[in-house]
Amino acid sequence: MSAAVAPAAAATPSHVGWGTALAFVAGYVDTLGFIALAGLFTSHVTGNFVLIGKEIIGPGDNVLLKLLAFPAFIAAVAAARLIALALERRRRSAVVPLLWIQCVFLLAYMTAGLAAMPIASTDQGWALAAGMLGAVAMGVQNAQARLELATLVPTTVMTGNVTQVVIDLVDIAAGRAGADAPVVTTRLKKMAPAVVGFGVGAIAGAAAWQVATFWGLLLPTVLLALLALRGR
């Protein structure tokens, strides 16, 4: 275990709670951005590949943002890695710094989104900036999950979690867990809350957009700030 990972584990006393909270943030931000920015996924890039293909075949005016969100996401992951390496050399955890960095970019995303309102096209001006800033914010969370919070379940993409939860539930129901039952049960207790958290976050993000537009990004920002304060 690297010097950076050990402090991170100590900084997260409730891994299930942290995983659920971060999954809520991902579902919330992804859904709000999807509605606000013509189908942009900020938390993961796979969906954007699909939408890029769709819009190239049936041309629309929203393809530029999806194309630029990809390098923005990559740049965020690379920068997060460099920050983590720099802190590792000082024997410090990057958990809290990366949480604060994500907060900053979520606030920048919110500010650019508000400046873009009303959005006529996502491929122009502030709307373009908003989408790229959102991709950066969630790129930081994706990198954080791999680098500093590897003991958590994935919090930004739920496909693997849902697949494993269903397999484990079927094994338990069919009596196939056997000697692995304790391991299966522990895994379920870890993964299921994250799946629920992401789903609740998605619903909350959609509702927040209807009520508060980009101001709704204050909620996940505050939640991340509370995690950062607790992580200290």
- Quick check: 102 and 224 in contact, CB under 8 A? yes
On the question of pLDDT at 96 being above 70, the answer is yes
pLDDT digits (tens, 9 = 90+) for 41-77: 888 777 767 777 766 776 666 688 888 888 999 999 9
Number of domains present in the structure of the chain:
1
Is residue 182 one of the residues assigned to a domain? Answer: yes
Task: Please choose, from the candidates 29, 15, 52, 27, the residue with its C-alpha nearest in 3D space to the C-alpha of residue 130.
Answer: 29
What's the predicted TM-score (pTM) here? 0.86
pLDDT digits (tens, 9 = 90+) for 109-137: 999 999 999 998 888 899 999 999 999 99
Is residue 171 one of the residues assigned to a domain? Answer: yes
Is residue 135 one of the residues assigned to a domain? Answer: yes
Is residue 231 one of the residues assigned to a domain? Answer: no
Is residue 127 one of the residues assigned to a domain? Answer: yes
Is residue 183 one of the residues assigned to a domain? Answer: yes
Q: Which residues contact 36 (CB under 8 A, 6 or more apart)?
A: 113, 119, 130, 209, 213, 214
> CB burial class (10 A; 0-12, 13-18, 19+) of residue 113?
buried
Is residue 178 one of the residues assigned to a domain? Answer: yes
Domain of residue 123 covers 5-226
Is residue 125 one of the residues assigned to a domain? Answer: yes
